[in-house]
Structure 1
Amino acid sequence: MRTVTFSMNISIDGYCDHTIFNPDEELHDYFTAIMDDVDLLFFGRVMYQLMFPYWADVAKNQSGTADENKFAERLTAIDKVVISRSLASAENNTRIVRSNPAEELRKLKQQPGKKILIDSVSLLPELIRAGLIDEFNLVVHPIIVGRGRPLLAAGSLQENLNLKLIDKKFLKSGYVALHYLKK
């Protein structure tokens, strides 16, 4: 059975607005390394549209820094599933699923392969409740924003999800990368 990993950047106060973060070379390298063990990305529509076509363009044109180009190449090479009722089309190695994300992820988890990486705040509560997420990679950025989308909305879970910290990395720019397993 494949491992399902939720991965997200968050502010110190728990918000997940990628437009306010300023990743550096070390952070790009961290996420590129995580993707070495991943062969499927599982996105919601909002995150998919935030990440693509931007990173696909960087990979194609090599328009970023060396670390950004490497991240973009790795990200775009991995197969993707995007959950959306409204997205009309998706690029290249991306498949759109219109309904029942938990059931789709359950089927994918049973297939052979490497890890499945989830990057979707909107799908997180449903997938936690379904018991489908095995581990969490959270990168805490040294910023307090006081606004935006929280990692989990109040009341979105009926029970606590207990986690075990198995690794932590302190990055030079003040980021803290935390790797948890579900207990």
Structure 2
Amino acid sequence: MRKLVYGMNVSLDGYVAAAGGDIGWGVSSDELFRWWLDQELRIEMFLYGRKLWETMSSHWPTGDQRPGATPAEREFARNWRDTPKVVFSSTIGELDWNARLVTGDAVAEIARLKAEDGGPMRVGGATLAAAAMRAGLVDEYEIVTHPVLVGGGMPFFTALESRVNLNLVQTRSFPGGVVMTRYETTPSSV
């Protein structure tokens, strides 16, 4: 059975994007980027909602060819292209870059993929992740909190019908006051 991981950069007030979809408020550092790269290298399949797919596919297919790309950015781009991706959308037409489209029931497909043998999957995009959270499918949360209050936008967490108990398994600080916390769901939550 595969593990499902949900992790994103988050403002201190809990948003992955500010109003209007702005994601430019994060504190960047080479150390944080390398940490994200290390996390992505252990993932065997990415699950994307439409908005995150559009963001990632607008940059990473050629991210390693951009002037000034760091070695970590080049490695991230190669890994992104090589890793299988499943995109959940009813409005996207064609996909490329080792991705396939699912237009039907996202929760049923995520549950099916999770039941397969294999390595961890990462669900990306707050709306898609919210559906997986409400269905009790998320096994691990990687929350990278940035020291900024954006006041509103797309929240990292969704409203749930019942409590989910978590176990803190790791914390780490990064330059600029960024803090990563990683939690696993406890058996009574799943």
> Scaled by the length of structure 2, what TM-score is found?
0.89
**Does residue 69 in structure 1 map to residue 67 in structure 2?**
no
Query: In structure 2, the residue corresponding to 1:8 is in which secondary structure?
Result: strand
**Does residue 129 in structure 1 map to residue 134 in structure 2?**
yes
Match of 2:31 in 1: 26
Match of 1:5 in 2: 5
Question: 1:65: how far off?
Answer: 2.3
Amino acid at match of 2:14: G
Question: Percent identity over the alignment?
Answer: 28
Match of 2:160 in 1: 157
Match of 1:180 among 180, 183, 187: 183
Question: 1:122: how far off?
Answer: 0.4
Amino acid at match of 2:94: S
Structure 2: runs of 5+ lacking an equivalent: 18-22
> Using a 3 Å threshold, how does the CA distance of structure 1 residues 150 and 71 change in structure 2: closer, same or farther?
same
Amino acid at match of 1:97: V
Query: In structure 2, the residue corresponding to 1:73 is in which secondary structure?
Result: helix
Query: 1:28, 1:71 within 8 Å by CA — same for their partners in 2?
Result: no
Match of 1:109 in 2: 114
RMSD between superposed Cα atoms in Å: 1.4
Match of 1:97 in 2: 102
CA–CA separation in structure 2 for the residues paired with 1:160 and 1:85: 30
Query: 2:3, 2:119 within 8 Å by CA — same for their partners in 1?
Result: yes
Question: 1:164: how far off?
Answer: 1.0
CA–CA separation in structure 2 for the residues paired with 1:126 and 1:170: 29
Question: 1:19: how far off?
Answer: 3.1
Question: 1:22: how far off?
Answer: 4.1
Alignment coverage as a number of residue pairs: 180
Match of 1:38 in 2: 43
CA–CA separation in structure 2 for the residues paired with 1:115 and 1:129: 19
CA–CA separation in structure 1 for the residues paired with 2:115 and 2:157: 26
Question: 1:35: how far off?
Answer: 1.7
Query: In structure 2, the residue corresponding to 1:35 is in which secondary structure?
Result: helix
Q: Which is worse superposed, 125-134 or 19-28?
A: 19-28
CA–CA separation in structure 2 for the residues paired with 1:21 and 1:99: 33
CA–CA separation in structure 2 for the residues paired with 1:74 and 1:173: 27
> Using a 3 Å threshold, how does the CA distance of structure 1 residues 70 and 132 change in structure 2: closer, same or farther?
same
Query: In structure 1, the residue corresponding to 2:85 is in which secondary structure?
Result: strand
CA–CA separation in structure 2 for the residues paired with 1:52 and 1:93: 11
CA–CA separation in structure 1 for the residues paired with 2:176 and 2:70: 17
